[in-house]
Chains A and B, each alone.
Chain A
Amino acid sequence: MPRNVAVLRVVLALLLVSLPASAKETVKLAFIGPLTGGNSAIGLGGRNSADLAVKIHNADPKAKYQYDLVVLDDECKPDTGVQVATKAGADRSIIAGVTHYCSVVAVATVDTFHRLGLPTIVWGAVLPDITYGHSYKEIHRVNGTMINQNETAAKLMLKQGFRRWVVIHDTTDYGKGHDKYFTQFVTPGGGKILGDFGVTADQQDFTAELTQAKALNPEVIFFGGLTPIGVRIRAQMDKLGINAQFQGTSGIVNDDFIKALGPLAEGVVAFREGAPAEKLPGGKFFLEKYAEQKYPNPPEAYGPFAYAAAKLLMDTIDKVGPDRKKVISALAQVKNVDSITGPITFDDHGQNTVAAITAYVVQDGKWVVWEDSEYASGKRKLKGR
């Protein structure tokens, strides 16, 4: 009977799949990030980068284990996040995780990872509490917090002589956090926040807020939020004839921001944790390899961190073996380990302390490190300078 044949085929296929692919022992890593919804671009970039790290590692004959990346979507929602975190933590074959871009999810899952004893490295969420809100040994983070970022940002902008800001931020934890810390660092140095506007993450029209901002006559529009809104605000500033400097946060440091704005992006300033990937030898290698794989989406701002986190975990597991407890104690010893985002040192909260902050400016359609730019050398001028 043809039906029996079909059944047989399915059974055979199942058997074949379950055969081991190579002689090396296979170890599973989890990747968790937003793959659907408004933040999916960054999530997919992170996913691809972690995937790249695993592929490169697996191709290395010296590597001790074969790694398998289990990818989970947290939708940027805490309850889904806890659900997939439980899934990763409960699966004993998963040894460690590269987890979360959205701060609100990362904060929600720390208890879960602690309870289930899964060592994780956060690859993108910037809220300080994720590492400093508890003393769990399981949680680490390679990227810096928004505290570091805004300290650098405030210093640099004050040095350029800017004094009058209007802040526009999205009402997510990311935007609100940036609003808080930037305000905190810029005011002691003589900066003034003339106005402060919260906008919702799916808002399209900002003309009402911007018209008000225009009336306040600021030198700089500080924007705390991600690319989609950042693009809209920058474009609508132009429509309303607002001639102020545009300053952003790590959420807009990606090629899409420039692509979506074209010439309007010129001179936009933004800050991001980590050393510039282009300038580190490993970083160049990363970008080349990434291009080779022909992923449909770019790595985005936090891709290098996902890559660095995955690589750090695999190197650690290669050293101490696929044992969660051993991985946790090994991670506590991480000091000055080279990565494509600069050296990594975890403090006693698992926070990477040497997370350097890099300032960027858009010059001729590219994000250029501030110090190398014609803006720093004085050849070009920021708005109003």
Chain B
Amino acid sequence: MTGTAPLLSTRELTRHFGGVVALAGLDLEVRRGELLGLIGPNGSGKTTFFNVLTGIFPPTEGDILFAGASIARSTPQAVYRAGITRTFQRSRLCLELSIFDNLAIGAHGRLEHGFVFNVFRRKALGRQADEIAAAGADLLEVFDPPLARRLHEPMAGVAMIDRRRVEICRALMSRPRLLLLDEPSAGMTADETTRLMDDLLEVRRRFGELTIVLIEHAMSVIQRVTDRCVVLNYGRKLCEGTFAEVSSDPEVRRAYLGLR
């Protein structure tokens, strides 16, 4: 079922902030169904890459092709509709809302937003709410079964690690084709990180074709879960390949791993 064409490819992708060059002509491919690790030192342009990809900042130059169509300069909303969702480096859940609400935000594209439907057809609305709740509970179940039973509790009372899980579930609620994870393990212990990655692999198994790009600092994680890695430095691709290939590259070792 997978063709040879990559799911996502960028050409000469460039982004300036004033005088600072965050992305400098990045050429990158993400293949269908793979889990690609994106690594590089701080300030190498990883998060900017996500931000440009999801339309938060338009690229200064270059193009992005997703499933054959250009999404460079699309709005974030259009990128979402094309099938890309993400998590954020600093968790951006709505803490005032319940877990359910946050998941529903993730499922925005599937929901009925008509005024009449929402205000007057409460039975149908209730059914849709139940569907979303069930789908959300299913997802949470994979990560942490007790969490699935706390669906209607406010987010603010949820522990940090569970917030990470909810945030990933929110991104998954829309059944994306490409999932962008920005350091999901930040602030977690090694054990928690391992569990989270296992859960992620489990979700991927269940979902069938889900392509993931993962920004991560913990090399053990990258080593364990990624199919392939891309190393960024100064907004450019330094090299790519399996973790073993990448980690033995002398340039990478010099620039990033700090090894001689």
In the complex, A touching B, CB below 8 Å? no
Residues of A near any B CB (own CB < 8 A): none
Residues of B near any A CB (own CB < 8 A): none
